[in-house]
Structure 1
Amino acid sequence: MNKGRFVVIEGLEGAGKTTAINTVYQWLNRQGHHVVQTREPGGTPLAEQIRTLVKSVQQEQVSPVTELLLMYAARAQLLHNVINPALQRGDWVLADRHDLSSRAYQGGGRQIPDEVLDPIRHLVLGDLRPDLTLYLDIDPALGLERARARGALDRIEQEQLAFFQRARAKYLAVAAVEPHIVVIDASQPLATVQQLLAGALERHFA
């Protein structure tokens, strides 16, 4: 049986993840791979309920630790019921966000230190790491402008610009030391971004 592969698309709001996912899916499909698509938080019935909790505006203040634990609860459910079984079958998994989002948003944006976050990561993920993470980098101000143009913002999207600046800094800091992460300049024209995505896929998998 062929070994499955795990590909993740990451980025701030307005970076163009949906378009990138479609581009990557089409590339993988042309290579003849069976692709299972997921999203985080979410991807299973229970994890989707957690997604609603996390993204909805609440009447009470949501603790950063509460948010962190909800994210990892949803991730654990998705790994157990979807991602790990797919990889074991030899399928390719294409994920709209994964663990790097928590490191950026809760670690960077919420300023939860690594010594708190890392044991939770290890408990949930074990040794699982993506084969390739494509991080769509964009200036947070531009990304939020694009997100507002799409419609109403969820609870996290309503955060201040400084939150997203910290998240971006964490994304870039992790990408600088983890070789499976490829940074894509998402501010460029769509055709250029698609070419960069295809080039990264070819270098890693073709």
Structure 2
Amino acid sequence: MCTRFPQRVYHGYGAVPPILIRMLLYIENRYLFETPSPYQNPAIEWKRQGKSIIDAAIALIDPDHHVVGGSTLATQIEKFRHSPDGITMGACEKLRQIVSASLRAYQWGEWTVDARRRIVLDYINAIPLAAAPGYGEVIGMGDGLWAWYGLDFETVNRLLWGMEKGVSDPYVCEQTGRAVKSALSLFL
């Protein structure tokens, strides 16, 4: 089976297990929902952007210096959807991604809470996860769990939602741990 579109997706933000959202935000965009303003631009995180610019300047002097990316989830989505090979080829391309992500966030008005939820949902459903033998291009968490780990999407979601209520059965705990570990590895 070779497909370009994900087969296993979340149909709304509320369908995504909270542990997936927490893991994703911790890794990629910690402050997306921690802003006091419902009007915050999700395409720009000033501290992160500033650190990235400083790191890039240091790297000009010290080529061994590691440059941390400044992309938010919103700009990453623009990058993997619209940049050749999903790679940012310079400052102008990065600016285009930020502007595009900003316009997309504000297209329905200045209140961006729903746009930020949509960004999380879109990222989870559309993250590119390479190609798997016998499967083809893998897009999104649901297809990634299936193609890379042989895990059933519905079962994983049941386990992850059950985790929110607390689990005492050792077998269920083990299966839940496997599901969390697999999902986390796909985000990394």
**Which TM-score applies when normalising by structure 2?**
0.31
Q: Which has the higher contact order (CA 8 A, sep 6+)?
A: 1
Higher strand share: 1
- TM-score scaled to structure 1, two decimals? 0.30
